[in-house]
A and B are shown apart, each in its own frame.
Chain A
């Protein structure tokens, strides 16, 4: 009891890193939504001489086709955030759905879903994503499908474990004793208490999805060349090795955005721990 007291005094989740995470993520979301309104150079148009180092006019220099790297970096947020949002939402919908049903009903359905999960999770994520993307062919949509294929089992497993845990709590037994129907049990008494860890994981995963999506594009399996996608831009920068600024902008963008989501996820997790220990 005393430990819980000492802990409760300190709002451990509200820290500088969490605040920083909120600011960074908010910045990129706003940037993604309003990029066309910033009065930047066209991301796809040649606006200056090729391979110019950073200057007052072109903050992050220009690339091999004379396009403004800063403008392309800001516009890149639109693609990365969109793909990450779609992938995480789809993975949660598929994974959490299947996992919840597996945990709740058990039996052969549970066995089938979990074997599929085991097999999928047996693949190292990047290799599976590459194999799927390569099979489907290059393209942003196919990369997204590949990422969903990699991520859904994580949520299936998490949700199933969560449902199995909540299922044994006494309030669920009390609901059964009170004559609750199966659907009422699942939706009102079990699922409503299963979302917190899913939310924390999803927040952290947005960052990881952004990383892996950029990696696919970097390899050449995601966004195709003119698109201002961060991974693809770094790939272009790698071929112009001595013009370091081409890759610097997009890479730094990835780092800050992913770091932001990780800080946020960390804070959410602490908040959750604090709640559950109350």
Chain B
């Protein structure tokens, strides 16, 4: 088992280097001229300004040199400077990270619990109305465009019914709760401000629901599948032959085994969360990394969009690594050559 984890850890830096190289390739060797994004059209005719811009962004060097500089900067945590905000991309991302993490965390909790529960129920009452209803809910979750669902829900609950606040993390003129974590809910709680906490929570409800639903769809389908697989195994029959009741069969024998693939599913659902977060944040005017990415992409702000992509990839890789390690720890069979490699 240790062997397996060590091998995965060793592969990490190589993968990250590959990711960085791909990012460099995207930002430097494509036909889009980054100059046109930096320098306005009229100034393009001014050779001095163009040369200065080239020197400033390192565009006058050879490609291998640029690559070396790029990787060197990356190692120092320098993702370049945004064309749009004129700020270091890394700073921009850090400033917006808490908003995204708070949203993703709430969505994850909803999606994981809802998905696992729905998946188990569907497997337990296979081919009944419960199964069909769960399947429909799940499939709608993974079939809906989140940017549209968000829009419709905002209209219904905020405009038509007035039950929930509009877009944003807090009310338009409110002051964000001060605090160390950057999670408005947590900061408000730490400050003992229940009113601000409830406000922050009410702003979270819709985006977290929309995002969580999309994830829930994926998780519940896969949990149902792995539960059904497990329920057909011989050892389930053995448990029944011992005289175990249905609930015990389901909870002790089936769930423990189905949890192993489920764990992987949950870990890997991070990809869906990121995809969903980018679009959900845009609709809900959520000041997170996702909406930063979209704004950067819209304005062709290359350093920013590629910086976000790199950070996203790194986070994605790390979450997958953590998942696989957890899988190895959970599964008694691994490390004996079973699921290795």
Contacts and interface: CB of A to CB of B under 8 A. Distances in A.
A224 to B, nearest CB: 12
Nearest to A254: B145
A17 B135 CA distance: 10
Given A127-B278, A130-B305, A135-B30, A120 B22 contact: yes
Contacts of B279: 126, 215, 218-219
A266 B104 CA distance: 28
Nearest to B28: A135
B297 A130 contact: yes
B148 A127 contact: no
Nearest to B278: A126
B309 A119 contact: no
B152 interface: yes
A251 interface: yes
Q: How large is the interface on B (under 10, 10 to 19, 20 to 34, 35 or more residues)?
A: 35 or more
Nearest to A132: B26
A60 to B, nearest CB: 14
Interface stretch (B58-66, B174-182, B312-320): B312-320
A219 B275 CA distance: 13
A76 interface: no
Interface residues of A, number: 49
A126 B32 contact: no
A254 B274 CA distance: 20
A244 to B, nearest CB: 5
A149 to B, nearest CB: 10
A134 B301 CA distance: 8
Interface in B274-307: 274-275, 278-279, 282-283, 293-294, 296-298, 300, 302, 305-306
Contacts of A98: none
Among B21, B30, B143, B306, chain A packs the most CB atoms within 10 A around the CB of B143
A154 to B, nearest CB: 11
B309 A123 contact: yes
B13 to A, nearest CB: 12
A124 B313 contact: yes
Interface in B1-56: 15, 18-19, 21-23, 26-27, 30-32
A123 B30 contact: no
A226 B178 CA distance: 45
Contacts of B23: 131
A219 B299 CA distance: 10
Contact of B317 (A122, A131, A137, A251): A122
A181 to B, nearest CB: 31
Contact of A123 (B142, B282, B305, B316): B316
Q: Which 4 A-B pairs have the closest CB atoms?
A: A251-B148, A119-B18, A258-B143, A126-B275
Interface of A: 3, 16-17, 115, 118-120, 122-128, 130-137, 207, 211-212, 214-215, 218-221, 231, 234, 237-238, 241-242, 244, 247-248, 250-251, 254-255, 258-259, 262-263, 266
13 contacts: A122-B19, A125-B275, A127-B313, A134-B296, A214-B145, A221-B297, A231-B147, A247-B152, A251-B145, A254-B148, A258-B145, A259-B139, A266-B139
